[in-house]
Amino acid sequence: MKTLAMSLIVELVQILLTVGLLVEGKPSILLNPLHSSSGSSSNSQESSLHLTKPPILNREVLVKNSQVGQFSAQDGLDFSRKIRSHNVVALLKGCGREPNRLAVLDDGSRACCRYREWEWRELRAELYSYHFNNLLGLHNSPPTILVRLNYSSPQWAKVTQSLRDAKWKDHKVVSMTKFVDNITPVAIPKPFKRSSPTIRQEDLPGFNGSELLLQWSDMIVFDFVIGHSDRIFNTLLNLQWYSKMMDKPVHNLWKTDKDGKFLLIDNESGFWMGYKLGWNDQRKTDMQAQFLKKLCVFRTPTVDQVSWLIKDAENNPKSKLEDYIKSVDPQSFGLLRKMSRKEGNEFDSRLRKVDSHIKSCSLS
């Protein structure tokens, strides 16, 4: 009986693959982590891919389950403990523009440090973006924490001259992000360059194509919700001056050499910095939404998380995100002011726009 049952299952899988209703992919399954009993995203369940067009794909498509990115919830906790329990022995130039620095710890590990004397909201955006990325179940932004400088503490005592050279003032807050090497820039795939209004699953056929499309889908949702102004938006904005911008690698988007998983770095231009562009010029918000409007393929766990974030009027998305951050990294959460009501309303509005767009894909 077992042999017969297995044969039937194999035949069914082959049929589904033939008609395009079973796609091998690798979605995350971290759903509603505030209510999860596990601190790690490695414990997994069945999940699915939300496909809406054409009609034959207007249904959930079963997907093999695994984590999307390479950073589990436990990785974030481990990184926080490491930073707070080790001393910085070198502070080198690197990790982007001045006055950023690459910190080397006494165990040889490295972290990218971001110092902003006045624009503290950029540091908060790094922290909030990292945790929102996890809240969506993507796990493809490197672990990030906030720390307060203290020249006289053992953690910074060996690099006080380097701190002065960098013009980092004592007792200021800095962000520290896990350094990741062996990565490659990512270019925009052909389907997103076409004039066709909608990107569908069949635009990137096969296992690799399906997974690539899913990674782009998740990133586009993530970037739109936080208003990221220095990734895809940077590409679109610069098209007016350089017509071949679409052929260039996307700013702040990398993939791992090992398995090609996306790495979303430098998210300081999200939330306040990204939102205020749209507040000052509606055309900027429309530009941020441009790729989202082209997309009608979404990972079901991502769809579920967006729906969960907006479904409770008494516990709004801002509260859910901040409660989550406070629960997993209270030390960082207490160092900067919380998101303003205006930012929170924008965060809520953008999540609802994503939810509305997903539903419009299903209905059209």
Query: Could you tell me the CATH number of the domain that includes residue 105?
Result: 3.30.200
For 71-124, write each residue's pLDDT tens digit.
998 999 999 999 999 999 999 999 988 999 999 999 999 999 999 988 899 999
The candidate with the shortest Cα–Cα distance to 354, out of 283, 284, 319, 305, is: 305
Cβ–Cβ < 8 Å for 80, 39: no
pLDDT score, position 32: 42
Tens digits of per-residue pLDDT, 237-282? 888 888 888 889 999 999 999 999 999 999 999 999 999 988 998 8
Residue at 148 is within a domain: yes
Q: How far apart are CA 177 and CA 336, in angstroms?
A: 17
- For residue 133, is pLDDT > 50? yes
State the Cα angle at 336 between 267 and 143, rounded to 5°. Answer: 40
Q: Is residue 46 part of a domain?
A: no
Domain span at 139:
73-178
Structure tokens at 98: 């001045």
Query: What does the pLDDT look like over 149-187, one tens digit per residue?
Result: 999 999 999 999 999 999 999 999 999 999 999 999 999
Q: pLDDT at position 296, please? A: 86
Give the number of domains in the chain.
1
Poorest-confidence range of 56-60, 133-137, 205-209, 244-248? 56-60
User: Shortest CA distance to 350 belongs to which of 315, 305, 317, 301?
Assistant: 317
Q: What are phi and psi of 344, to 5 degrees?
A: -60, -40
Spatial CA neighbour of 176 closest among 129, 139, 216, 142? 142
Residue 287 falls inside a structural domain: no
Residue identified by tokens 């990204």 is: 274
CB burial of 103-138 (b: ≥16 within 10 Å; e: otherwise) equals bbbeeeebbbbbbbeeebbbbbbbbbbbbbbbbbbb
Write down the pLDDT at residue 336: 94
- Domain membership flag for residue 107: yes
The pLDDT of residue 343 is above 90: yes
What is the mean predicted confidence (pLDDT) over 293-321? 90
pLDDT classification of 36: cutoffs 50, 70, 90: very low
Percent of the chain with pLDDT over 90: 58
Q: Positive or negative CA dihedral for 216, 219, 225, 230? A: negative
Please say whether the dihedral angle defined by the alpha carbons of residues 305, 22, 357 and 266, taken in this order, is positive or negative.
positive
Q: Do residues 322 and 332 touch, judged by C-beta distance below 8 A?
A: no
- CA torsion, ordered 344, 345, 350, 353, to nearest 10 deg: 150
C-beta separation of 146 from 335 below 8 A: yes
pLDDT at res. 204: 57
What is the pLDDT of the chain when averaged over all its residues?
80
Local structure of residue 274 (DSSP, 8 states)? H
Cα dihedral: 223, 113, 332, 118 (round 10): -80
Residue 129 lies in a domain: yes
The amino acid sitting at 33 is P
C-alpha distances in angstroms, 256 versus 9, 14, 180, 184, 293?
34, 31, 9, 6, 27
